[in-house]
């Protein structure tokens, strides 16, 4: 059975992605940072539908925890053929002139360093000739294009860094049987906006979206699942904007 690691698979877009990938036949390693009940709820939902999943704790900003997470996955049955770098954080809306060094470092530690570390460990296992190949999807953001002025330029910059990781890594490993692609969601209904201090942000901004609405986590999951699947077998180094036309 092929295994996929979904970082931050316990809530929001990661939860929807874990559920969809399990329905498509993947064994899902549901990573979470601290809320074990949320991760176990995803695993239970997958098992109730007859799928296969297990929860795996790790703060992806911590290299030792990432190493332990991959060792845990190695110890399970199944070949790691997929990685969804989904875990990401942002903080209270603020201007650049108000940002502390500590905050910027925390954003980059999870969104950039964490994604790099997970890519590194996945590539070691997937790359030909030792590995059988695989696919990686990096969950970026439309903020990488817009810059998120007045809200979280630190977050936007971290997502732009993820996009450069996607481009560079896709070229490095294309001949080793690994595809690397990016998804840039727009305004999606999840708890993340509350972390920015505005739980109702998606509804406020929906009129600015050409499609006149926010997106659902399940709609992003579909895009991620397609890029991971064999249906996208000739697609690498590509980005899909799933942002309602924005
Ligand atoms: P969310 O609802 O806030 O969920 C975040 C998930 O990431 C949780 O499962 C959380 O686990 C996990 N997580 C956070 N920091 C982590 C760390 N250091 N190590 C491991 N896991 C960690 O977020 P979301 O809105 O679904 O966002 C998912 C991804 O989509 C993010 O990369 C985000 O930047 C991107 N995105 C979201 C939107 C949007 O509008 N929502 C738009 C564009 C892009 P715990 O609960 O255990 O902490």
Substitution site in 38, 88, 239 for ligand 1 pocket (most atoms within 8 Å of beta carbon): 88
144 C-beta closer than 6 A to ligand 1 = no
From CA 23, how far away is CA 5, in angstroms rounded?
A: 15
CA of 150 to the centre of ligand 1 (A): 21
- SS3 assignment, position 77: coil
Count CB neighbours of 137 within 10 A: 27
Query: For residue 216, what is the DSSP state?
Result: P
Which among 87, 114, 216 is the best mutation to test ligand 1's pocket, defined by most ligand atoms within 8 Å of the CB?
87
From the CB of 88, is ligand 1 less than 6 Å away?
A: yes
Ligand 1 and 139: CB distance under 6 A = yes
Q: pLDDT (tens digit, 0 to 9) for every residue of the chain, 246 residues total?
A: 999 999 999 999 999 999 999 999 999 999 999 999 999 999 999 999 999 999 999 999 999 999 999 999 999 999 999 999 999 999 999 999 999 999 999 999 999 999 999 999 999 999 999 999 999 999 999 999 999 999 999 999 999 999 999 999 999 999 999 999 999 999 999 999 999 999 999 999 999 999 999 999 999 999 999 999 999 999 999 999 999 999
Radius of gyration of the chain from its Cα atoms, rounded to whole angstroms = 17
Range of the domain at 38: 2-242
φ/ψ bin of 197: left (φ > 0), alpha (ψ from -120 to 50), beta (otherwise): left
Q: Note the pLDDT of residue 58.
A: 98
Residue 113 gets which letter from DSSP?
I
Sheet of 178-185, strands arranged across = 52-57, 27-32, 2-6, 79-85, 134-139, 178-185, 239-242
Using the mean position of ligand 1's atoms as its centre, give its distance from the Cα of residue 75 in Å: 26
How crowded is residue 46: how many other Cβ atoms within 10 Å of its Cβ?
Answer: 22
Dist. CA 242–CA 226, nearest whole Å = 12
pLDDT at 239 (0 to 100) = 98
Task: Indicate if 155 belongs to the active site.
Answer: yes
Atom of ligand 1 nearest to the CA of 143: 43
| Per-residue pLDDT, 193 | 97
Bridge partners of 80, per DSSP, are: 3
In the numeric block, the tokens 């903020």 are attached to 143
Distance CA 123, CA 216 (A): 30
Read off the tokens for 192.
């993340």
And the tokens for 29? 């390693």
| CATH at 42 | 3.40.50.720
Q: Bridge-partner residues for 56, per DSSP?
A: 31
Q: Is 37 in the pocket of ligand 1 (CB under 6 A)?
A: no
The count of domains in the chain is: 1
Q: Which of 32, 152, 155, 189 is catalytic?
A: 155
Dump pLDDT digits (tens) for 163-174. 999 999 999 999
Probe target for ligand 1 pocket from 8, 39, 195, with the most ligand atoms within 8 Å of CB: 8
pLDDT in tens, 182-224: 999 999 999 999 999 999 999 999 999 999 999 999 999 999 9
């Amino acid at each position: 059975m092929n295994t996929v690691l979904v970082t931050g698979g316990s809530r929001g877009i990661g939860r929807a992605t874990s559920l969809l990938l399990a329905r498509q036949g993947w064994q899902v390693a549901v990573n979470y940072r601290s809320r074990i009940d949320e991760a176990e709820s995803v695993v239970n939902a997958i098992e109730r539908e007859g799928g296969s999943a297990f929860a795996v704790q790790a703060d992806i900003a911590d290299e030792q925890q990432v190493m332990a997470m991959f060792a845990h996955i190695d110890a399970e049955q199944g070949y790691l053929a997929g990685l969804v770098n989904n875990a990401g954080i942002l903080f209270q809306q603020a201007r650049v002139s108000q940002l502390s060094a500590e905050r910027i470092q925390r954003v980059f530690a999870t969104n950039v360093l964490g994604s790099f570390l997970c890519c590194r460990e996945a590539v070691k296992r997937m790359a030909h000739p030792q590995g059988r190949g695989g696919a990686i999807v990096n969950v970026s953001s439309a903020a990488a294009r817009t810059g998120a002025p007045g809200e979280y330029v630190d977050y936007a910059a971290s997502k732009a860094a993820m996009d450069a990781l996607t481009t560079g890594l896709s070229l490095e490993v294309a001949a080793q049987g690994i595809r690397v692609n990016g998804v840039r969601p727009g305004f999606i209904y999840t708890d993340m906006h509350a972390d920015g201090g505005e739980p109702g942000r998606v509804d406020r901004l929906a009129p600015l979206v050409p499609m006149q609405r926010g997106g659902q986590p399940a709609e992003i999951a579909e895009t991620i699942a397609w890029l991971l699947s064999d249906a996208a077998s000739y697609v690498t180094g590509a980005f899909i904007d799933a942002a309602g036309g924005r």
